[in-house]
Structure 1
């Protein structure tokens, strides 16, 4: 049965099934949403811009994939930050799917991972705003969670 699994060119298991906007697999042959390319190395500003675009479009699962790529390619000193950003996007995915327990767990974990960068946030990432957003999300009913702003919009703040 393992031979029937979808695999990428390196042999790693990959699901070729289409996915909905929240990353849920759909039956083969069903139209899905365009997926973010996996394994793409982007400059931090480009990764943040693409992830924000996906978050604003209601596609937090796909934003998570972009942030996960950034985490895997980030310098060691920034890996926890990017990991935390990816976890926040997964937490938002769980919230949008109605899984409040999973959302709370991932949002708390993500906030904890980004909080350590509050003193000197790289790439204009709004660490304080993201931590506050993650804490607020847990108090909201499903379907009412706004996407976070990943970066500060005003320089120097």
Structure 2
């Protein structure tokens, strides 16, 4: 569990000390809640401001470890804290990670939809900004990966391995 102080209040919902809703239940590598007291995967701390390079490196490590839900949280931090002109990029990357999460959980329809939405978002950001390789990422390869995986999960209709299908954010040679 994270080092954040999380408490359960009288309404039965998990809340932080400031009263904001927080789910203190442990989660597995795909972000699914586990019973209280179970051993779960360490949650990503919320609201961290990382450099773009650190964001990409942390997200890649999580993706390689079969933890796309947690990679999505890293991208979400960049989306919320980054410069306005990059928010669509990080949001698109978060959608790709969530799409992979859903595909690995067996939600093939939602997974395929989010993978395609994320692919479109990073391609649109790239075309608007003229940047195809921000922070060493290969956006064209990521979009192609996402569309390929969307087709696979729709065709097969079964959960995939998040680790096996983890994308290479900086391309196949990275």
| 1:79-131 superposed Cα distances (whole Å, 9 cap, x missing partner) | 00000000000000001001110101111111111002153132122110111
- For these two proteins, the number of residue pairs brought into alignment is 155
1:110 and 2:93 equivalent?
Answer: no
Q: Which residue of 7, 12, 31 corresponds with 1:4?
A: 12
Please, which runs of 5 or more residues in structure 1 have no aligned partner?
none
Q: Which residue of 86, 92, 112 corresponds with 2:100?
A: 92
| 1:42-77 superposed Cα distances (whole Å, 9 cap, x missing partner) | 000001100000000000000000010011011111
| Runs of 4+ displaced beyond 2 Å | 1-4, 8-11, 152-155
**TM-score of the superposition, structure 2-length normalised?**
0.83
State which drifts further: 116-125 or 133-142: 116-125
Equivalent residue number for residue 124 of structure 1: 136
State which drifts further: 35-44 or 139-148: 139-148
Equivalent residue number for residue 150 of structure 1: 169
Q: Which residue of 64, 73, 92 corresponds with 2:72?
A: 64
Q: Matches of 2:51 and 2:16 in 1, distance apart?
A: 24
**TM-score of the superposition, structure 1-length normalised?**
0.91
Q: Which residue of 54, 60, 70 corresponds with 1:46?
A: 54
